[in-house]
Amino acid sequence: MNILEEIKDAACVGITGHVRPDGDCLGSTLGLYNYLKVNRPDLSVDLYLEQPGAEFSYLTGIDEILHTPKNVAYDVFIVLDCGSIDRIEPFTQCFEQAKKTICIDHHISSQNNDFADINLVKPEASSASEVLYTTFDEDKVNKAVAECIYTGIIHDTGVFKYSCTSAKTMEIAGKMMEKGIAYSDIIDNSFYKKTYVQNQILGRALLESVLFYDGKCIFSNVTRDEMAFYGVTGKELGGIIEQLRLTDGVEVAIFLYETGDHEHKVSMRSKKQIDVAKIAAEFGGGGHVRAAGFTGKGTVYSIVNKIGEMIERQYVDMSQ
Ligand SMILES: [Mn+2]
């Protein structure tokens, strides 16, 4: 796919990504937004997303993101980094009213149900940003676009370390570096940087973590009271699951934070064997084989017990 070809007859284009935008969601949507701004100056482009985190403020165009849907019938509406239409709320009406829709994504097929008119879905790609880049003309990518693509790639690969990272991923990242981006700053400031309270709550979550299933699994949780005490939101708890995953001997890490009465947002990571996307799907969530999540009803222990049973079932299936 060449994205400029796909939209060549369009006068107005809308773009969105998934709810609670992460680095890849922002990198891919803003990457496309900036690419179209530069290479189709005649085009009217709107980008819709929820309010992004402050750590991404260096991305060009981030202040132009719209948070409420316009009542416009777009010639083309493009959804990135999103496998299902129910994850673009509250911008569904823009999608439904559009004359043509395109989805550019990397979620596995059981989660991407080809909901658009044209679907470019590459489950083997590291990130939606990587898939998007393949639709660009290389010589039309400027530094601002390169910063977005690079950001998307480092976030969905955990800075080039998850198994979704391929030689192709590195090649694209290298090309982005050649555009003169401040790659060390991007990695430090958008990925690794933690505020003082984020480090405090990370320390607390690690201190209270529990190993189970012969040390193959670990979980920890943060309550609403604790979040209020430290003055943090769910968005700021991002690094905790990653540190849990790194625990020696652990195959699956689970992190939960309370979002309501008997309701938790649950993240899971696995190293090599367990398919956490499959587990998340059973709870109505989604994600990737090694990184997935869902919103779970019940107490921390009831949710973790259910996940534990599913992990055990996968081990049993593997041994047969
Ligand atoms: Mn992604």
Query: What CATH fold (topology level) applies to the domain 3-192?
Result: inorganic pyrophosphatase (n-terminal core) (3.90.1640)
List the structure tokens of 71: 């009542």
CA distance to 14, 127, 278, 298, per residue, from 283 (Å): 31, 24, 9, 12
- The answer to whether residues 257 and 235 touch, using CB atoms and an 8 Å cutoff, is no
pLDDT at 24: 98
- The answer to whether residues 152 and 173 touch, using CB atoms and an 8 Å cutoff, is no
What percentage of the chain reaches a pLDDT higher than 70?
Answer: 99
Q: In the predicted model, is pLDDT for residue 151 greater than 90?
A: yes
CA of 291 to the centre of ligand 1 (A): 11
pLDDT at 235: 82
Q: In the predicted model, is pLDDT for residue 77 greater than 70?
A: yes
Task: Tell me which CATH code domain 196-319 carries.
Answer: 3.10.310.30
User: Which of the four pLDDT bands, split at 50, 70 and 90, describes residue 145?
Assistant: very high
List the structure tokens of 154: 């480092």
CA of 24 to the centre of ligand 1 (A): 5
pLDDT at 320: 86
User: Which of the four pLDDT bands, split at 50, 70 and 90, describes residue 139?
Assistant: very high
Distance between CA 53 and CA 239 in Å, rounded?
Answer: 14
- The answer to whether residues 283 and 266 touch, using CB atoms and an 8 Å cutoff, is yes
Q: In the predicted model, is pLDDT for residue 162 greater than 90?
A: no
Distance between CA 74 and CA 38 in Å, rounded?
Answer: 19
Mean pLDDT within 107-115: 75
257-306 pLDDT per residue, tens: 999 999 999 999 999 999 999 999 999 998 889 999 999 999 999 999 99
CATH 3.90.1640.10 spans which residues of the chain?
Answer: 3-192
User: Which of the four pLDDT bands, split at 50, 70 and 90, describes residue 112?
Assistant: low
24-44 pLDDT per residue, tens: 999 999 999 999 999 999 999
CA of 23 to the centre of ligand 1 (A): 8
pLDDT at 239: 86
CA of 50 to the centre of ligand 1 (A): 16
Q: Give me the residue label for tokens 């991002």.
A: 238
Predicted TM-score of the model (pTM): 0.83
Q: In the predicted model, is pLDDT for residue 21 greater than 90?
A: yes
Q: In the predicted model, is pLDDT for residue 108 greater than 90?
A: no
CATH 3.10.310.30 spans which residues of the chain?
Answer: 196-319
Q: What is the mean pLDDT of the chain?
A: 95
181-227 pLDDT per residue, tens: 999 999 999 999 999 999 999 999 999 999 999 999 999 999 999 99
CA of 165 to the centre of ligand 1 (A): 12
Mean pLDDT within 140-159: 97
Q: In the predicted model, is pLDDT for residue 55 greater than 70?
A: yes
CA of 81 to the centre of ligand 1 (A): 5
